[in-house]
Structure 1
Amino acid sequence: MEAAIVQLNVGMPKEQNWRERRDISAIGKIPIEEAMLWKHGFDGDGIADTKHHGGPDRAVCLYPFDHYSRWEKEYGTKLKLPAFGENITVAGITENDLYIGDVFQLGDAVVEITQGRVPCSTISRHNGIDTLLNRVFETCLTGCFFRVREEGIVRKTSGLKLISRVQKEFSVYRANQLMLHGHGHEPAAIAELVQVESLADEWKRQISKRVTRWTKT
Structure 2
Amino acid sequence: MEKPFFVIGSVRVGRSQSIGTYDGAERRTAIAKEAVTGPVELTPTGFTGDEQFHTHVHGGPDKAVHQYPAESYGFWRERHPEALERFVPGAFGENLSTTGVAEGDVCIGDVVRVGSVVLELTQPREPCGTVSKWFGIADFAEEVQQTRRCGWYWRVLETGTVDAGEEAELLERPNPAWSVDRVLRLWWEDPMNRELLTELLALKGLSARWQEKTRERLETGMYEDWTRRLTY
Which TM bucket (shorter chain)?
over 0.9
Specify which of 107, 122, 132 is matched with residue 99 of structure 1.
107
- 1:113-141 per-position Cα deviation (integer Å, ceiling 9, x unaligned): 00000121111111112232111111111
Normalised to the residue count of structure 1, the TM-score between the two structures is 0.92
Determine the structure 2 residue equivalent to 1:26. 30
Deviation (angstroms), 1:17: 4.6
Q: How many residues align?
A: 214
Unaligned residue ranges in structure 2 (runs of 5+): 223-232
Deviation (angstroms), 1:22: 4.7
- 1:147-171 per-position Cα deviation (integer Å, ceiling 9, x unaligned): 0000001111222221111121110
Structure 1 position 68 matched with structure 2 position 73: yes
Deviation (angstroms), 1:180: 2.5
Determine the structure 2 residue equivalent to 1:43. 48
Determine the structure 1 residue equivalent to 2:182. 174
Q: Distance in 1 between matches of 2:40 and 2:13?
A: 9
2:112 match: secondary structure = strand
Determine the structure 2 residue equivalent to 1:205. 212
Identity of aligned residues (%): 31
For the aligned residue pairs, the C-alpha RMSD in angstroms reads 1.9
Structure 1 position 6 matched with structure 2 position 9: yes
- 1:169-209 per-position Cα deviation (integer Å, ceiling 9, x unaligned): 1101111112233222x210111011012000100000001
- 1:9-68 per-position Cα deviation (integer Å, ceiling 9, x unaligned): 1012232358x9852211111111231000000000011111122110000000111111
2:12 match: secondary structure = strand
Q: Distance in 2 between matches of 1:106 and 1:74?
A: 32
Specify which of 140, 145, 152 is matched with residue 144 of structure 1.
152
Deviation (angstroms), 1:97: 0.4
Q: Distance in 1 between matches of 2:19 and 2:116?
A: 33
The aligned amino acid for 1:6 is G
The aligned amino acid for 2:27 is D
Q: Which runs of 4+ in 1 moved over 4 A?
A: none
Normalised to the residue count of structure 2, the TM-score between the two structures is 0.87
Unaligned residue ranges in structure 1 (runs of 5+): none
